[in-house]
């Protein structure tokens, strides 16, 4: 199961995203976009290879709209849960999240996500 952003945040959090991009740890290489919750493994379909030589059928899929509505504190907590932010030392992370909080000036934020659900079963099983 993957949650994929289907729309940008409403209202926009462009100022927050700009701040966070400026504060990415210097010298740290990411093999993914640290703001993209659509990991390459999902997008590439690479994960499906595990089923090719297995006793399982090809995975089936459904895409389900998944709207999110967060208050300001909820959005700060969501952003704080990003791995690279969560890994920052407290003395860096806490002031950064306070700056994020100050930039968020609306009571409620909305974003439509699309949940991709996959399942399979053993071949020959009814």
On whether the CB atoms of residues 12 and 122 are closer than 8 A, the answer is no
* Res 3: pLDDT: 87
**What is the pLDDT at residue 100?**
97
Structure tokens at 39: 């990991």
pTM of the model: 0.79
Per-residue pLDDT of the chain in tens (126 residues, 90 and over written 9): 888 889 999 999 999 999 998 998 887 776 666 776 556 667 778 888 888 889 999 899 999 999 999 999 999 999 999 989 999 999 999 999 999 999 999 999 999 999 999 999 999 766
Give dist(CA 60, CA 51) in Å, integer.
Answer: 12
Dist CA 37 CA 30 (whole Å): 13
């Amino acid at each position: 199961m993957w949650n994929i952003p289907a729309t940008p945040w409403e209202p926009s959090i462009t100022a927050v995203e700009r701040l966070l991009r400026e504060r990415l740890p210097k010298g740290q290489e990411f093999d993914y976009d640290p703001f993209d919750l659509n990991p390459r493994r999902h997008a590439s379909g690479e994960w499906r290879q595990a089923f090719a030589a297995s006793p399982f059928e090809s995975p089936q899929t459904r895409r389900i709209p998944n709207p999110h509505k967060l208050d300001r504190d909820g959005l700060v907590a969501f952003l704080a849960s990003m791995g690279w932010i969560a890994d920052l030392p407290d003395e860096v992370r806490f002031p950064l999240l306070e700056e994020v909080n100050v930039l968020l000036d609306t009571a409620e934020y909305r974003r439509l996500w699309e949940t991709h659900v996959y399942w399979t079963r053993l071949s020959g099983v009814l």
